[in-house]
A and B are shown apart, each in its own frame.
Chain A
Amino acid sequence: MKSFHKKKKHISTKYWLLIFTGIFVISIMLSMTLSLSGGPLNAIAGYVLVPMQKGINDAGKWISSKANEFKTLSEVLEENQKLQEQVDELTVELNTTKLEAYELDNLRELLELDAKYPSYEKVAACVIAGDSSNWFDSFTIDKGSKDGIEVGMNVIAGSGLVGIITDVGSTYSKVRSIVSDSSNVSAMVTTTGDNFNVSGNLKTMNESQVITFSELRDKDDEVTIGTPIVTSYVSDQYQQGILIGYISSIETNSNNLTKSGTITPVVDFEHLQEVLVILQKKETGAELDQPKDTESSDTETSGTESSEVSTEESSEEASQDDSVTQQDTAGQE
């Protein structure tokens, strides 16, 4: 009797394995094509785990704040002195900026221009959990659809771009950061207006805290180390004009037409605790509901592989008339 029972169980395990394999293969297919999220699973996981993660995080913050209180007095005094110096410096800077802003306002009035960058409505959120695999850089924040967050909204911290919302539960949402290996952002040089592609890279990020960029067309060599990089107006996912970082190295590709190199992001991704979510999605004419801008083999060019792609690029160069938009769609699909 008992052996029969065991045998029955044994068979059913195999069947279970097959059934679940089928289910998961289908769900992988669906999430590849339809960018499907967990649905009810998300809700359950969100209600069970997110409160606990919040609790642990709060405890951690409390401990680290207590640890900070034990800083010695001399350290604090030294820091105070440094900060005072900085305050003086910044006050001077502020005054000149104010003057310039006044002048700018006047000029804008003359030109009847509105403010170029509208101040977006934002919501603050705490990072409550990191990525449990070591391959990608994504994290969970403690605000979700209840707070008006939707898939595709931009996430910033301080003055710089952090990433984009890829999945939303009712009380949490998932953010893929721009340094994650699968991330691609259309970027722009502030001084020249050249558009190009910035992609996260695990290797360069691990080695020297930088991410890679490619396909920069800079004929007059105006882009140098230290040039600020912002999100481009052609991007269909990121609001324009958010600071990404500064160029830290640059080299000309073997095709002598485009340049690639690395960018140091302005956000400290190692110690990210609080972020701001911009409650406004980029408005594009076509309804492109594709939060995953990953699988694009032709834009995945880091500095080392550029030679292989150069032939492709030069053929693309032939039809350079509206290359900017082409490049962006390639990066986003």
Chain B
Amino acid sequence: MRRKITLILIIIICYLLQSTVFQAFDFAGITPNLMIIIVSSVGFMWGRKEGMFVGIICGLLIDIFCGFYLGVYALLYMYIGYINGFFQKRFYPDDIKLPMLLISASDIVCNLVIYLIMFLLRGRFDFLYYLKAIIIPEFIYTMVISIFLYYVLLKICQGVEVHEKRRAKKFDL
């Protein structure tokens, strides 16, 4: 229960930041993708199930407020969360390399899929341009933000886990 409430709060706060504050702090029209950081991090910290559900919620939020067809982002983020969950076994909190790698891979894959279905299929073939103008700038900006956001998320997740363990012990005794 505590996990769910924490996650929903994190998602709402990050969505609000992304849709309002970061719109004002954009670099050449590019805003960072906070949602992908959350989906990916929760995936590799807590596993497939949590990653999947967080992906669904984040995706639906984006679909409702700025998507084109209801369900595209939800489907995409769900799979990203789920796939990140496979890396839970290899995840160690002290090692920042794997989280950064996973978050950046998720961001790039997400943007590639959006390019494929929404641009390539409509005859916008200049992939290199979109790579330079959208995918790479967003990737860099997201990475910069994720260095901070990752540690915040890690601390929150560890706090929740410590609390859960304490409660479990109480019940054991």
| Chain A residues close to B by CB (< 8 Å) | 9, 13, 16-17, 20-21, 23-28, 30-32, 36-38, 41-42, 45, 48-49, 52-53, 56-57, 60, 128-136, 138-140, 167, 174, 181-182, 202-203, 206, 270, 292, 294-295, 297, 300, 305
Main secondary structure of the interface of A (DSSP, over half): helix
How many pairs of residues, A versus B, come closer than 8 Å at their CB atoms? Answer: 147
Q: Is the CB of B119 within 8 A of A24?
A: no
Q: Is the CB of B64 within 8 A of A42?
A: yes
| B118 close to A (CB within 8 Å) | yes
Q: In the complex, A123→B138 CA distance in Å?
A: 35
Q: For window 26-73 of chain B, which residues contact chain A by CB distance below 8 Å?
A: 28-31, 33, 35, 48-49, 52, 56, 60-66, 68-73
Chain A: minimal CB distance from B97 (Å): 26
Q: What would 20 A/B residue contacts be, using CB atoms closer than 8 Å?
A: A13-B52, A17-B52, A17-B78, A20-B74, A25-B75, A28-B75, A45-B61, A45-B65, A48-B12, A49-B12, A49-B16, A52-B16, A53-B19, A53-B20, A132-B31, A134-B134, A134-B138, A135-B119, A139-B66, A202-B133
Q: Is the CB of A13 within 8 A of B75?
A: no
Chain A: minimal CB distance from B39 (Å): 13
Q: In the complex, A49→B60 CA distance in Å?
A: 13
Of A13, A24, A27, A203, the most chain B CB neighbours within 10 A belong to A24
Q: Is the CB of A305 within 8 A of B123?
A: yes
Q: Is the CB of B75 within 8 A of A132?
A: no
Q: Is the CB of A53 within 8 A of B16?
A: yes
Q: Which residue of A lies closest to B18 (CB)?
A: A132
Q: Is the CB of A132 within 8 A of B19?
A: yes
Residues of B within 8 A of A9 (CB): 49
Q: Is the CB of B119 within 8 A of A45?
A: no
